[in-house]
Amino acid sequence: MTPDNQESALVLLSGGQDSTTCLAWALDRFPHVETLGFDYGQRHRVELGLRPALRDGLRAIDPAWAARLGEDHTLALDALGALSDTALTRESEIAMQADGLPNTFVPGRNLLFLTFAAALAYRRGLRHIVGGMCETDFSGYPDCRDDTIKALQVAINLGMNRRFVLHTPLMWIDKAETWRLAQRLGGTPLVRLIVEHTHTCYRGERGAMHPWGHGCGTCPACELRAAGWEGFVKG
């Protein structure tokens, strides 16, 4: 731990492609990086179990990253699971709602995640908070919007009397560019780590191995990841 280190970061690490790319991005920039995962009974909970292997894989890619990667934290957010009535936490079918949002939407999820992350960062003396929120690809989730994150940064800094910086390196890039970012940060070893060891599928299936990774191949998350991979390999 490095208390009150102005150059230290906390990365929200779910075990998916986006958050793993964000962790590599942070390891490339900050001398001390800790990670945080949330357990709220999500259907694709399998991704949480992948986090230790991802952290080990990142350490193996670059000795500098190994030296920078600090503690891992997990917080149970049972209240969030209890509050949500969506396909993400119940065994119902994934579909689009009348308002254009997939019914996997957990209202305000990222507001809660970032607020809990800030509380932990406060305790740990970490200044930078990094999340994989993205306005480009994500079907209009209002809590992924750049304006939402910026407003939350202001609210958190006022409410906690700190100068946290919320970073969202994927905010304006699409899935193909996210693969390219991984390629730039950690080359082929990082791309392979993400393909083989991250999880995206909303149905929580590891099952078949596709060129872009494991998953059912037909849910919205798998389709998005597959399309992004196509764009990446086509250059």
**Contact set with Zn ion (CB under 5 A):** 201, 203, 215-216, 219, 222
Q: Shortest gap between Cβ of 70 and Zn ion (angstroms)? A: 32
> Which CB atom, from 55 or from 214, has the smaller least distance to Zn ion?
214
> Got the DSSP string for 64-113?
HHHHHEEEEEEEE-HHHHHH--STTTSSS---B-TTSSBTT--TTHHHHH
Q: Shortest gap between Cβ of 19 and Zn ion (angstroms)? A: 17
Q: Shortest gap between Cβ of 217 and Zn ion (angstroms)? A: 6
Q: Shortest gap between Cβ of 167 and Zn ion (angstroms)? A: 28
> Which CB atom, from 130 or from 201, has the smaller least distance to Zn ion?
201
Buried b / exposed e over 137-168, threshold 16 CB at 10 Å, is bbeebebbbeebbeebbeebeeeeeeebebbb
Compute the C-alpha angle 226/46/119, nearest 5°: 105
> Which CB atom, from 72 or from 223, has the smaller least distance to Zn ion?
223
Half-sphere exposure of 107 (CA within 13 A, CB side): 4
The answer to whether 81 touches 41, Cβ cutoff 8 Å, is yes
Q: Shortest gap between Cβ of 2 and Zn ion (angstroms)? A: 39
Pairwise CA distance, residues 210 & 208, whole Å: 6
> Which CB atom, from 167 or from 175, has the smaller least distance to Zn ion?
175
> Which CB atom, from 186 or from 215, has the smaller least distance to Zn ion?
215
